[in-house]
Amino acid sequence: MQNEEIILQMKAITKTFPGVKALDNVNFNLHQGEVHALLGENGAGKSTLMKVLNGIYQKNSGSIYLEGNQVEFKSPKEAQEAGLAIIHQELELIPYLTVAENIFLGREPKKGFLVDFKRLNEKTEEIMNRLGVNIDPQSKINELNIGNQQMVEIAKALSQDANILVMDEPTSSLTPKEIEILFDLIERLTAEGISIIYISPNGGNFSNL
């Protein structure tokens, strides 16, 4: 995939926390439609690099270019609006809400002042079909296993039109079967032109790819 266009470039990124230099002059390029694995031991700075990318943390120095244009995201919301989504190591779903309510939280289709639940569930169904996964939009998150919860996070990112998706250690609590489903899904997403940054604590998981 090296011939594909570079859609994201991080140059000489440095980030310090009190007493810790988490990132020291880090360079990172992402090509369109590729899965770029970011490997490194615990504490290497992988999550920090991604949090600098999407505006959770502000970098001390360095620059970030999205499709050639310099960007300075001040918040994850700004990054999301530019098509960048992160699925964090700790999933961020609300357990007692439904799949559909989680995916469209704060962006629910309305009928007058009320949530249009029929439309909400239909839109969720459409995304699940696109992902090729079979999850009932009306299930509560706390009724799903971790693998399906992660699919919901991915569905949420897609519903926001993400074209760069960061997965931070996605397989850490998945079963081998769930990992297989995730890898199939990653293939499907990259075939659509979505670029993926895949963070792994070590090379071990890649024996499955």
Ligand X SMILES: Nc1ncnc2c1ncn2[C@@H]1O[C@H](COP(=O)(O)OP(=O)(O)O)[C@@H](O)[C@H]1O
Residues lying near Mg ion in the complex (CB under 5 A) = 47
By CB under 6 A, residue 22 contacts ligand X: yes
DSSP, res 149: H
> Which residue, 48 or 150, is less far from ligand X as judged by CB?
48
**Residue in the block written with tokens 């029929």:** 118
Check if the beta carbon of residue 124 is closer than 8 Å to that of residue 99: yes
Answer for which of 4, 43, 95, 122 binds ligand X (CB under 6 A) is 43
Answer for which of 10, 26, 45, 162 binds ligand X (CB under 6 A) is 45
With CA atoms as reference, report the closest residue to 197 among 86, 93, 89, 91.
Answer: 86
Check if the beta carbon of residue 149 is closer than 8 Å to that of residue 93: yes
Check if the beta carbon of residue 38 is closer than 8 Å to that of residue 2: no
Check if the beta carbon of residue 32 is closer than 8 Å to that of residue 192: no
Which token pair is 94?
């609300």
Residue 48 binds: one of ligand X, Mg ion, none (C-beta under 5 to 8 A by kind)? ligand X
Answer for which of 34, 46, 104, 151 binds ligand X (CB under 6 A) is 46
> Which residue, 22 or 120, is less far from ligand X as judged by CB?
22
By CB under 6 A, residue 200 contacts ligand X: no
By CB under 6 A, residue 171 contacts ligand X: no
Which token pair is 77?
């919301």
Residue 154 binds: one of Mg ion, ligand X, none (C-beta under 5 to 8 A by kind)? none
> Which residues of the shown chain bind ligand X in the complex (CB under 6 A)?
17, 20, 22, 40, 42-48
